Each structure stands twice: as structure tokens, then as C-alpha cells.
Amino acid sequence: MNLATWPVRVGAFIVDYIPAWILFGIGSVAGRTDDGGLGPIYFVFALLGFGYIVYNRWILGGKGQSLGKKALGLYLVKEQTGQPIGAGMAFVRDIAHIVDSIICYIGWLFPLWDAKKQTLGDKIVGTVVTKA
């Protein structure tokens, strides 16, 4: 397997979340009310942002590529089979990434020295990120 390097994985993560950040940003600016609160426009854009994130997880599990991974030529696959992990396991993997953040985010840096270039969340779920 041709495993993806950490910098490329970070790039895919950034590409994945740019649309959501833009939607949340537009909602935060356009959704402000005169009294400084958040109006309905904010919540519309927040729902669009969350919808995008859910959709991106869905296609990541089904096809092995989120929009960011596709843009950078990466695949998320089950380590044992080399096949996409399915939408449900993509969400479980996201939950497992909480472990990556628990100790000062060290788990996110594991791909820098791990032989399989896995985060702790990847190890828990049994996934690897490969180059196309």
C-alpha cells in the first residue's frame, strides 16, 4: 500500500473544511441581529455547513474519498481489505478521533512517526489513508 504522508493528509483536511468554514462565516456575519444576537440566517447557514460535513463523511465512507481526499488523490480504506469503510464507520472514525485530541492533540501527529502513518483514531477503527 502506498500510504499518504502527514502533510498531504492535513491538506485534504483543510480542503474538506473550507466550504463549511465559509458557510459558518457567512452565517456569523449575515446572521447578526441589531442586538448582537444570532438571527435565522445564521441558523440556515449553520445547517448548510453541518449538512455539508455530514455529506462529506457519507461519501468518504462510501467511496473512500471526501472532497478533500479526492482533490489530493487520497483514499480512506479498511487496513485489512483495502475497501472503503462505509458511511457508519466513517462517523465512528470521527468519534474515535476524539482520542487523538485528548492528550494535547498528539494523536493527530502519530502519522509523522507511525510505520502505517495512522492517527490513534485510525488505529482504533483499523483504517489507513493511501495515495491513489
* Coil vs helix vs strand at 118: coil
Helix (H, G, I), strand (E, B) or coil at 110: helix
Could you report the per-residue pLDDT of 107-118, keeping only the tens digit for each?
999 999 999 999
In a domain, 1, yes or no: no
Model's pTM, two decimal places? 0.88
pLDDT tens digits for range 45-88: 999 999 999 999 999 999 999 999 999 999 999 999 999 999 99
Looking at residue 38, its pLDDT comes to 84
Instruction: Residue 116: count other Cβ atoms within 10 Å of its Cβ.
Output: 14
Query: Does residue 54 belong to any structural domain of this protein?
Result: yes
| Percent over 90 (pLDDT), the chain | 89
**Is residue 17 in a domain?**
yes
Number of domains in the chain: 1
In three state form, how does the secondary structure of 21-81 look? HHHHHHHHHHCECCCCCECHHHHHHHHHHHHHHHHHHHHHHHHCCCHHHHHCCEEEEECCC
Residue 22 lies in a domain: yes
